[in-house]
Every structure is written in C-alpha cells, then in structure tokens.
Structure 1
C-alpha cells in the first residue's frame, strides 16, 4: 500500500504540467500549443522534447500509470482476500475478562425453572434476542458470541476493488478509444472516416478502418448573446440542429446538440465545443464562370467573433484566385480601425484582399484550408499601385482589377466545432465511481460490533450472567444491543450504575 500511495503521488505530480501547460488535441483550444510556441520560442523546444504538451500520452506518464496499476493489483487483491475471509469468519470467542469491555453488565440469579429442561436457558434467550437484532450468533457451551456489521467489510472490499476497476477503465479508454475534431458549416455533411477529420488522435489499438458508420449534417446553428447590462456580449445559448444517418439504419433522424448534450451513436459521441461564422461567397473567374460557391469557415480570434480566413478558387481560369481577410459580425470603426462591436451578426462585413497565380494545391503537399500559400501568387493591385482590398456587405460584389474575376458576398452562415470521441472505458470508470461511492459510504456509515454473553453456574441453583460488547470502529458501542439482552435475561428496569457494573453508552 505504501508503494501504491507513493506512485499515486508521482502520478498526481506528473499531471501538474498537463494542467498548467497547453496540451495538443484539446478541443476547447486547439491552437493553444501553436500560440505558446510563438510566444516562447526558446522554451518551447525543450518542453516539447520532454513531452510536456502531450503529458497524458507521454511514455514517462504511461510508465508511472503502469507501475501504479501493477502495484494496486498486488495491493488490492490480497487485501480483498483477507476482507472476504473476515466476512465469512465466525464470531470470535469472548475475552477472559469481560469487565474490560464496553457496556459490561454482571449479575447473579437463580437458574430459570430451577434447572428444568422445559424452561429457556439464558443462552437460548440471548441467542434469540441477538438474532432478532440482526447479529450473526454462535453458541459454544455456556457462551454466546455475536457479531454484526459485516457489511462494513464488504464496503471496504468494494471500495478497494473500485480503485482497481477505475484504473482498468481509464486504461481501456486510452488503448481502444479515439478523439477527433471537425468544423461543419451550415448545410455541410461529415462522414465518420478518418480522412474527413480536421484532427484525429487514435489510441494504440484503435481500429481506424472500422469506425462507427454514420454521417451527420449541420442543418442549422443558433446562438444567442447578452444584449444589455454589464455582461453584454456574453454567450447565453448555443444549439446545433443535426440530421444524421447510421450504417444500421439509413433513415434520416434529427437531434439538437447543445453543450453537455452530445449526439450519441452507439457510444461514439459528438460534443458541441465551439462555433463561429462561415460567410457564403461566390467567386467567378475572368470568363465569368463560377469557380467557387459556398460557405467558408473563418476562425474567430476574440470574444466579439472577429474572424480571420482565406478563400481559395483553384478552378478559376486562366489564373487561380485566392482571397485573404477578416470577417466582422457587427462591424464598426474605431481609432485602431475596423472592429466588431458585438458577437452577433447585426452589421456583418467582409474585408478582403485578392491574389492571383498558383495556389500550390496541385503540388501534392498537404495544405491548410485556413492559410494561403502566396509563394506562387501576386497580390492584386489598383491603378495607383496600392494593394487591392474591399469591404463587402451582404449582397455586394467586388471586381478584381484587370478583369481577373469577382467575388460576391451572398449571405452569412454559421459553423460549429464538434469533438467526436469514442471511449470504451467510460462505462467501466462510471461503474468504478459508483462502486467507490457505495463502498466508501457503507464503510463509513455502518458500525461493526460484537456482543458476548457468558453464563457461569455454581454448584447450587444460582448462576452468574455477564453481558458485554466491543465496537470495532472508532465510534463507541451503541448500548441498545446490550440493553436488549440484559432486559430479556433480567426482567425489570435496568440496574442503575450505583448498584451494577452496566456502562451503556447511549446516543
């Protein structure tokens, strides 16, 4: 147990960097590690070599966890065996000197019925009373041994087993589960295959070729913000209306997904983790043909949802077109230039600059949809030699210099971020948590105690009766058990402390 406690302390200390430093593949802030690297260029490489940005997937964290699992197994299983033997064991014999025990009473009386066999003996009466009160009773000669509260030991047994089950559950999730992130604009569809994820983190034994078959479509996204008071602009309500199909049931079904209310498809869950704006644009090339049309996701960079993004039209001819800029949901002009005064789309505007040339998408190298490769492109220039840029409201069109093409801002749509996760160990962990709660509550609430009754008969018709008990917890013995035995064996009021050795404790 000492080794397990030391390893558990090491595990807790090892988890501290995971709480203080940004971690990769965290849905709430996927760009946090990149931002830390940009702000700390000297410190970042050293921390990265130590695995500080992937603490819970690092070899050293896994090593401590594995050692803890082995240690807990070696600690818990033998202890469970001892507790089980204790539960099944018979009540222990009474000590030689019962006067040292709690709630001790001693008196002399005549043998019931003058020793007649038709009358119940004190031993029989004591057994009947104690059994009625829920004790496990065993009579040996002139002695009654009774014990109660074995459920407390079962609670200890369940509590210790729950720790081992919890470790197994966490390990199952880390070995067989996966986690991924996607961003869906309104009207867009996602199919659950690895290539469709924006980011995908499988576990060691994840079967990536046989993910749960389903597809989801973001039909509509609704967001509400505080419009007045000191907390103006704070989010109040997010709701994503999804339609989905599964491999086993091609029927289209619908469900609303909100924070902490995920879509659950056979234990693969889609959690709503964020949202933003996806302006819908139409790009035409120099010939007037539509080269691109649809929503484009712009990533928010502050609480007012001022967002950055790029638009690519690789099908434009004779030159490919690219646009870079920002979107303001409620555009306003301040001393520092345009900014968003409110996160809702009350005055949406799209600010763009244009580029012509080769987008570099045909080279075969992977390319982010949120960045524009300008190495093979030239920025569109106005006649006065200044860079070409425009601010567009919904419905407005900007035409590129030299008839290179145009872009129309059609409407404002929204997008939603989803974290899709499969964790086969969560049910095991939940069961372990319930076991821990029930076991700990039982072991704290139930008191294990013992009661003994000893009858000593002299050579005549008299006998001496002793009743005593013992609490096996830190709480004093409840005197009601011994009082019931004394009352049954010695009718009449219980003796006062002045004329008896009875030392009952009452709550």
Structure 2
C-alpha cells in the first residue's frame, strides 16, 4: 500500500509533470521530422521508395503515425493524470487561503524583512486604512488597547498558476476530443468537373476516423476543383496559391480558398496542403482506340517542382472484334517518368529550373505487360509495381523519350502517345475537429493565467496602532512587511506605504 502511495505522490509531483511535458515534446519530434499518414500520405509513399529498408521498421514503430501511437498516447495520458493530481490539492489549498482571514499581527514586527519603527501620527487607526486600499484587511482590537491591521494581497500569482495548469489540462482534453470524435481525410483532385468527388470513404484517398466516428457521420457534399492558380517570384519562391471549389449536395456554394484560408463547410474544413501538375496524355493503341489520362505527377522535394509519376492504360490493346472478357494483361501499357515544368536549356533533363510552366517537358519510359492492378493487393497508383518488374511480368520496351507539349511518340507496335497538355491538381486535407473550440478557449485561459502569474506578487502588511502616551491626540504606528514570494520591488512598495502614512499626518 505504501508503495502505491509513494508512486502516486511521485506521479502527481510538479517535477514529474514537467518531465512528462518535456518528454511529450521530445516524442512529438518524429511527427515533425517524418512524413505522417494523416498529413500527406504521398510523402510516406515517397519515403518508402527512398528508404526501402528503414521505412518498414519505422512503420512498425508508428513513425508515420506518431500522434496515434501507443507510446505517445501513454505519455499523453500520464501527463494528464499528473497535472490533475498536481492541481486538485493546490486548488483546495488556494481556496482555503483566499477564504481564510489574514493572520494575526506578529508580536515582534522588527523581525520581519521590512520594518518601520513607531511613527507618531495624528488621528485614529482609521488613518492607515486608505493607504491599504485594494488589500484584504482585518482590523482587530487587542486587550492592551492597541489596534492591529493585517493586510494581504497578491493572490493573483497562485490563481494564475492554477488557471495556467488547468488550461493545460483543457488543451489535452481538446486534443483528445478531436482525436476521438474527429476525422481527417486526404484527396488529390485534378481541376475539372470530371474529377469531382464526394465525401465518402470510398472516394477519399485516405480516411482516418476517430474512435467515436462512423462513415454515416460524414457531412454529405461533393467537391469540384474548378480552378487552381499558383504564382511565383523570379527566384522560384512561391508567392500565392489559390483554388476555387464548387460544392454541391446538401451544401451549395462556390468559393475561393488558399493555404491559410480553408474552405469552411458545415461539419468539415477543406485545407489546401499541396499542388502539382497532371500531364494530359492520349494513348492510341494498335487497334486505333484512344484513351486519355490526366494522372497527377507528384512533386519531388526541389524548388523547381520536378514531378514524377506514371500514366497507366490497363484497357489498351483489346481487340474490338473479340467478344467477352478478352483483355490480355500482358498487353497492358504504362508510361513512367518525370515532368519538368521548366526544363533546362540543355541536357541533362533531370530537374526543373522553375516551378511554373515555361518550358514543359516529359521524360518517359514505356512499359508493357501485366500492371498487377487486378491482383487485389493494395498498391500506389503513382508508381509502377516493382514486384511485377522484378518477376519479368512488366518490362520496359525500348529507350526513353523526351516529349514537349504537343509532340507525339510512335511506339514499336504502331501505337502512339501524345502529350496534349497539363492540368493543375491540388492536395486537399478534409478535417473535422470538435476539440478545436476547447483548445482555443483553453489557450486563451492559458495565456491569461500566465499573465496573472507574472503580475501577481503575494505579500503582507502588518500595522499596530497604539495611543501615544505623551500626546493623547496622537497615535504611534508600527509597520512590518512580509513578501510571500520573490518580489524585488517589495521594499519600494513598503517604503511608499510608510511615506504615505506620514504625508497623510502632515496634511
């Protein structure tokens, strides 16, 4: 029993709370360094490509979903319990201190840090009362005929501390509420009416509901990315991003939104978190049937918006004269490579020199074979299935090709690929967080509590007034002062009170 009691005391100590707070901040670092599924799933996929050995290990350690990991939640829960255990006893003690009357005046005021020897003033003990305006005062008559005044102020410091730490618990509650009762989803959407999507789990690229959320709780709306405009400085640095969304369904509206100005809907906010280009490719197979693809090429991590991706045509090369399901998977085609919005003037063409489209160029490789999309195994639509390439079921045919806007590429079997244009795409994050108002209100109280704790200085003033034996019309006043917390300005405040008593006598 004593072991549990000591463990509880250690957990609810302020030192443990501070350690847990620091530990929580340290535990959040991987969430800032590593890409997160909840923020941008395509960055996680790119990390897998760049670090094929390390990424699976990090996945097992929840490195790509830090804030939902068991170890982060454990620290979070322990911090919550520790703060609550710290605050409740302090709140009880503070309430008692505020309700309790200031203590009796000490018998020997000269022992206090601040002391003024007996001052002869005219009038009665009420002479001292105006000088202590704003203080909690208690006047007591003593058996020897003297009158004492106990004054106290500065409770704002402890009040501010309690408000600050209570608000910190409010922040934790708000975050937990958002995690359990909220949801978030990502969707890459190409500009145009034909790529509009509805807010259902099946049409979202990634959907992560909270524990208290079901698919029926999602607000019903459809969204079309009508347009997207990006401007850049001559240095290549971004200047502005602005998208226009057309919302249909239960909510009918058309509105612009940008990076720091989300599209606010009933039950969800739509944030713009990324963008890029989707090359529009038209492939005409050997039977003369044409298909058009506008697949997003995902930007790499350079300032020129160099993008990589793949355009697949799984229904190519089907004999129109055949009946039934005659699709030959070995004749499926795909084009993989880079898109450079502004290609350099000369080779090598591996990196764009400017993010806007000034000299667009496609660098593509042609693949033919089984794309592996019918295997029922989850895979990225932005890269080729490397397992199919390793097994020899998907093979590169011939050399790569550079395609400028409007150019065509005639392949070995007479089929043709045309680069007919590009479209803008945007990466949208759709979120609902019911904990946001709680967090916002808690942060406001947190700042208010911090200010109160800084301006509040607990201190006491003791005054003893007794009749002057030499002159019955006058009184002798002795004053003592005691700071209850670190307050460098208390000697000046004490001296000012004593001087005001003397001035009041002269007036």
* TM-score category of the 2 structures, normalised to the smaller one: 0.7 to 0.9
The alpha carbon displacement at 1:402 in A equals: 3.5
Counterpart in 1 of 2:125?
123
For the residues of structure 2 that align with 1:23 and 1:332, how far apart are their CA atoms? Answer: 30
Match of 2:4 in 1: none
> 2:238 aligns to what?
235
468, 487, 494: which one aligns with 2:503? 487
- Could you say what secondary structure the match of 2:506 adopts? coil
Query: Aligned partners of 1:283, 1:58: CA distance in 2, in Å?
Result: 45
Q: Structure 1 regions of 5+ residues with no counterpart?
A: 113-121, 382-386, 493-507
SS at match of 2:19: helix
User: Is residue 24 from structure 1 mapped to residue 26 from structure 2 by the alignment?
Assistant: no
CA contact (8 A) 2:343 2:349 kept: no
Partners of 1:398 and 1:179 in 2: CA distance: 41
Task: Judge conservation of contact 1:399–1:406 (CA < 8 Å) in 2.
Answer: yes
The CA distance in 1 between the partners of 2:420 and 2:86, in whole Å, is: 66
Residues 95 and 7 of structure 1, relative CA distance in 2, 3 Å threshold:
same
Q: How does 1:76-115 map to 2 (within 5 A)?
A: 76-101=87-112, 102-108=114-120, 112=123
2:227 maps to 1:225: no
Choose from 463, 473, 480 the match for 1:453: 463
Please give the alpha-carbon distance, in whole angstroms, between the structure 1 residues aligned to 2:121 and 2:466. Answer: 10
After TM superposition, give the deviation of residue 439 of structure 1 in Å: 0.9
Q: Confirm or deny: 8 A CA contact 2:161 2:450 kept in the other structure.
A: yes
- Structure 2 matches for 1:363-402, cutoff 5 A? 363-373=375-385, 387=398, 389-402=400-413
Structure 1 residue matching 2:339: 3-state secondary structure: strand
1:380–1:400 contact (8 Å) kept in structure 2: no
Report the CA distance shift for 1:328/1:109 in structure 2 as closer, same or farther (over 3 A).
Answer: closer
> Can you list the C-alpha shifts for 1:337-390, whole angstroms capped at 9, x where unaligned?
565332221121233344455544444444432134556966686xxxxx1654
Per the alignment, residue 256 of structure 2 pairs with: 255
Q: Which residue does the alignment assign to 2:434?
A: 424
For residues 87-111 of structure 1, what are the alpha-carbon distances to aligned partners after superposition, in whole Å with 9 as ceiling and x for unaligned? 233222211112334252413467x
Correspondence for 1:322: 334
Distance change >3 Å, CA 12–CA 37, structure 1 → 2: farther
Map 1:240-319 to 2 at 5 A: 240-245=243-248, 247=250, 249-250=251-252, 252-257=253-258, 259-266=259-266, 268-290=268-290, 292-303=291-302, 304-316=304-316, 317-318=318-319
The alignment of Structure 1 onto Structure 2 pairs a total of residues equal to 463
CA positional deviation for 1:278:
0.6
Question: Superposition pairs for residues 7-18 of structure 1, below 5 Å?
Answer: 7-18=20-31
Cα separation, partners in 2 of 1:352 and 1:49, compared to 1, 3 Å: closer
Indicate conservation of the 8 Å contact 1:185/1:414, yes or no: yes
**TM-aligned CA deviation for residue 430 of structure 1:** 2.2
Indicate how the Cα distance of structure 1 residues 176 and 456 shifts in structure 2: closer, same or farther if over 3 A, else same: same
Alignment gaps of 5+ in structure 2: 1-12, 142-146, 320-330
**Contact (CA 8 Å) 1:352, 1:390: kept in 2 or not?**
yes
Q: Which residue of 2 aligns with 1:179?
A: 184
CA shift at 1:76, angstroms? 0.9
CA 1:153/1:89 → structure 2, altered by over 3 Å: closer, same or farther? farther
Answer yes or no: is the 8 Å Cα contact 1:333–1:339 preserved in 2: no
Change (3 A) 1:267 1:211: closer
Structure 2 distance, partners of 1:338, 1:53, is: 29
In 2, distance between residues paired with 1:411 and 1:15?
A: 42
Q: CA deviation at 1:407?
A: 3.1
Q: Are residues 420 and 312 of structure 1, via their aligned partners in 2, closer, same or farther at CA, if it must alter by over 3 Å? A: same
TM norm structure 2: 0.81
CA deviations 1:81-139 (Å, max 9, x no partner) are 212222233222211112334252413467x5xxxxxxxxx233333443xx2222222
How far 1:321 sits from its partner (Å)? 3.9
Residue 349 (1) aligns with residue 361 (2):
yes
| CA separation of 1:441 and 1:246: change in aligned 2, threshold 3 A | farther
Counterpart-to-counterpart distance in 2, 1:58 and 1:134: 51
Q: What is the Cα deviation at residue 79 of structure 1?
A: 1.0
1:226·1:234 contact (CA, 8 Å) conserved in 2? yes
Contact 2:310/2:384, CA 8 A, preserved across alignment = yes
* Kept in 1: contact 2:40–2:186 (CA 8 A): no
What SS does the aligned partner of 1:206 have? coil
- Give the distance between the partners of 1:457 and 1:332, measured in 2 at CA: 98
Shift of 1:36: 6.0
Counterpart residue number, 2:134 = 134
Cα deviation 1:300-337 (Å, max 9, x = unaligned):
22522232222223343225443333322223464545
Aligned residue for 1:501? Answer: none
Structure 2 CA distance for aligned equivalents of residues 37 and 287 of structure 1: 36
Cα RMSD between the aligned structures? 3.1
